[in-house]
């Protein structure tokens, strides 16, 4: 990984990891900092630490936006300093604590075809359980700066957190919002996802910089457009399920394309059947 932080608002810095286009945000306050997400592997995390130290010498608190490998497998490295606090949604805390082997296996299987070297490293990565669980929301003081951690509801996963820095008008959305590709529905709740995005939109203004989980920063209008497509996807799923249509028929009309639409339809049908 060769990347560095760039300031996107006053005291808010963005690093865009080049391999999977994952975004990491560093918020710097008076004598303290906040690091949002920790990337995929020990090697990536070490480079991330070096990049962060080029911006600030302050100790940092860590937030994981959710429990997928590309957002939290670097926890051990970035939280190596004794006393470092790591925040995540309660469900993400439970998964990282109770099922690390399953998370490593899933990460390996996801990456082994396209990125075999990364997959091998993921399989060997030591995982760390976050130290603080967020259920609905928590407010942090980051060197005099108020930062809100909020769970807007089920969406990309059942454990999504958004991070709002109101004095800089920056909202870190994690994978609830995607710019570099369609939303990832594999572990999602597509019928509830529109409500989660509507919740995070309440934190925005016309000038808000929204940092998606992957890709370029966007504005609130981009998020509203993605919300509309997510709502359309949810409507198609409900209509298809009511009419006993196969998921493939729903996928054919998906605003995100056939393949993401098929995954979304299957997950949505599972929600309606009570098996998700």
Percentage of the chain exceeding pLDDT 70: 100
Q: At what angle do helices 220-242 and 193-201 cross, to 10 degrees?
A: 160
pTM of the model: 0.96
Asked if 237 contacts 250 with a C-beta cutoff of 8 angstroms, the reply is yes
Conformation bin of residue 80: beta by default, left when phi > 0, alpha when psi is -120 to 50: alpha
Q: Which residues lie closer than 8 Å to 237 by C-beta, 6 or more apart?
A: 190, 191, 250, 264, 265, 268, 269, 272
* pLDDT classification of 92: cutoffs 50, 70, 90: very high
- Assess whether pLDDT exceeds 90 at residue 29: yes
Q: What is the DSSP string of 227-261?
A: HHHHHHHHHHHHHHHHTT--HHHHHHT-TT-HHHH
Cα distances (angstroms) measured from residue 186 to each of 103, 139, 183, 247, 263? 14, 30, 9, 14, 6
The residue extents of the domains of the chain are 6-219
Mind listing the pLDDT tens digit for each residue in 55-90?
Answer: 999 999 999 999 999 999 999 999 999 999 999 999
Tell which CATH classification among 2.60.40.10, 3.30.470.20, 3.60.15.10, 3.40.50.300 matches the domain 6-219.
3.60.15.10
Greater confidence, 73 or 1?
A: 73
Q: Which residues lie closer than 8 Å to 153 by C-beta, 6 or more apart?
A: 160, 192, 195, 196, 199
Mind listing the pLDDT tens digit for each residue in 159-214?
Answer: 999 999 999 999 999 999 999 999 999 999 999 999 999 999 999 999 999 999 99
Q: What is the DSSP string of the chain?
A: -----EEEETTEEEEE-TTT-BEEEEEE-SS-EEEE---SSHHHHHHHHHHHHTT--S-EEEE-SSSSHHHHTTHHHHT-STT--EEEEHHHHHHHHH-HHHHHHHHHHHHTTT-HHHHHHHHHPPP---SEEESSEEEEEETTEEEEEE---SSSSSS--EEEETTTTEEEEETTS-SSSSPP-TT--TTTHHHHHHHHHTT--TTPEEEESBSS-B-HHHHHHHHHHHHHHHHHHHHHHHTT--HHHHHHT-TT-HHHHHHHHHHHHHHHHT--
């Amino acid at each position: 990984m060769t990347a560095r932080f760039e300031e996107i608002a006053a005291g808010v810095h963005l690093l865009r990891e080049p391999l999977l286009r994952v975004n990491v945000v560093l918020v710097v306050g008076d004598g303290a900092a906040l690091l949002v997400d920790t990337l995929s592997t020990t090697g990536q995390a070490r480079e991330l630490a070096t990049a962060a130290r080029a911006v600030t010498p302050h100790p940092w608190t860590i937030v994981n936006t959710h429990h997928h490998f590309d957002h939290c497998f670097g926890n051990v490295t970035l939280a190596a300093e004794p006393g470092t606090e790591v925040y995540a949604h309660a469900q993400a805390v439970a998964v990282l604590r109770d099922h690390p082997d399953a998370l490593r296996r899933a990460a390996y299987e996801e990456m082994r075809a396209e990125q075999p070297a990364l997959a091998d490293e993921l399989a060997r990565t030591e995982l760390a359980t976050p130290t603080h669980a967020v259920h609905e929301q928590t407010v942090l003081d980051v060197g005099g700066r108020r930062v809100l951690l909020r769970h807007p509801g089920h969406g990309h996963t059942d454990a999504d957190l958004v991070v709002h820095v109101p004095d800089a008008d920056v909202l870190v959305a994690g994978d609830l919002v995607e710019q570099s590709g369609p939303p990832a529905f594999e572990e999602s709740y597509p019928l509830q996802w529109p409500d989660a995005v509507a919740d995070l939109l309440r934190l925005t203004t016309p000038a808000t910089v929204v940092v998606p989980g992957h890709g370029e920063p966007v504005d609130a209008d981009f998020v509203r457009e993605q919300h509309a497509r997510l709502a359309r996807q949810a409507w198609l799923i409900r209509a298809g399920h009511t009419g006993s249509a196969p998921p493939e028929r729903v996928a054919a009309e998906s605003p995100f394309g056939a393949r993401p639409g098929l995954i979304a339809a299957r997950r949505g049908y599972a929600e309606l059947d009570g098996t998700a």
